[in-house]
């Protein structure tokens, strides 16, 4: 309670300071209501614009090892450059994936047989032990969710030869692992068959629409606490 009161006091001071300076509001969003925090995170993701449209010209495909086509089942890593919007898809064997050095924003996908069926297991690293990362976990979860169809399109386009040889893989179910130290965002979601997951943006039923989110922000009873939606 003391910590919450202290954070609320700091938040009020921040708002008062911004008013005195006459500057525009900053995208520093904090709330001690979990539902409101979710609303802010989703709104922050929306502010960044609609899901990115896949552009094959910006995709670079790199096959690891000496083999032109890694053995199946295989794995993928997708790296995104914020400055150029270029994508790099790494195609490799599962063993090579284990030896790879990954960046925090990389998305990993791996073909695995589950209950006798081939599935595509996708891994997104939402947050770790770092406190600042944890504060932005909600925002990162929504951004990963919004951009996941782009990731899957990159896989389908970049490894087109595989899908030409095995078109049945487009029917494989996509399982998305969101890794986080937060219970709420450490979750496993089924996005359905690959062909569908790559062409639609999944929206969780509990997310509010944009106009509802904007309305929530204007409510005076919202109490500031600790969530930095655009920190990282």
Residues 60 and 140 in one domain: yes
Residues 173 and 73 in one domain: yes
Sheet of strand 87-93, all strands in order from the earlier edge strand to the far edge = 59-63, 87-93, 74-80, 107-114, 117-125, 173-179, 187-193
Residues 24 and 121 in one domain: no
CA geometry: angle 115, 117, 121, nearest 5 deg: 90
User: pLDDT: is 10 or 35 the higher one?
Assistant: 35
Q: What is the mean pLDDT of residues 104-117?
A: 92
Range of the domain at 131: 56-197
The chain-wide mean pLDDT, for the chain, equals: 73
Residues 89 and 23 in one domain: no
pTM (2 d.p.): 0.69
Nearest to 139 by CA among 207, 229, 49: 229
DSSP 161: H
Is 227 part of a structural domain of the chain? no
Most confident segment among 18-22, 56-60, 69-73, 137-141: 56-60
Residues 61 and 112 in one domain: yes
Is 225 part of a structural domain of the chain? no
Nearest to 122 by CA among 99, 153, 101, 96: 153
Strand extents, DSSP E, the chain = 59-63, 74-80, 87-93, 107-114, 117-125, 173-179, 187-193
Does position 82 have pLDDT exceeding 80, yes or no?
A: no
Residues 96 and 125 in one domain: yes
Contact 132, 104 (CB under 8 A): no
Counting the structural domains of the chain, the total is 2
Is 203 part of a structural domain of the chain? no
Residues 119 and 168 in one domain: yes
Residues 30 and 103 in one domain: no
User: 53: pLDDT confidence band, cut at 50, 70 and 90?
Assistant: confident
Is 61 part of a structural domain of the chain? yes
């Amino acid at each position: 309670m003391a910590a919450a009161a202290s954070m609320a006091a700091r938040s009020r001071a921040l708002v008062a300071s911004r008013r005195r300076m006459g500057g525009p509001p900053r995208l520093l969003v904090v709330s001690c209501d979990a539902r409101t925090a979710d609303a802010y995170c989703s709104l922050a993701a929306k502010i960044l614009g609609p899901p990115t449209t896949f552009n094959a010209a910006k995709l670079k495909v790199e096959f690891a090892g000496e083999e032109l086509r890694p053995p199946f089942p295989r794995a993928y890593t997708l790296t995104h450059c914020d400055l150029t919007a270029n994508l790099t898809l790494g195609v490799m064997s599962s063993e090579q994936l284990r030896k790879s050095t990954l960046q925090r924003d990389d998305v990993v996908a791996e073909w695995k047989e589950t209950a006798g069926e081939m599935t595509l297991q996708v891994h997104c690293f939402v947050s770790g032990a770092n406190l600042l990362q944890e504060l932005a976990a909600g925002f990162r979860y929504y951004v990963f969710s919004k951009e996941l169809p782009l990731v899957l399109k990159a896989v389908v386009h970049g490894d087109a030869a595989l899908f030409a040889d095995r078109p049945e893989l487009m029917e494989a179910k996509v399982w998305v692992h969101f890794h986080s130290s937060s219970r709420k965002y450490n979750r496993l979601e089924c996005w359905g068959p690959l062909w569908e997951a790559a062409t639609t943006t999944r929206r969780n039923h509990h997310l509010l629409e944009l106009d509802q989110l904007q309305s929530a922000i204007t409510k005076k009873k919202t109490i500031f606490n600790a969530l930095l939606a655009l920190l990282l």
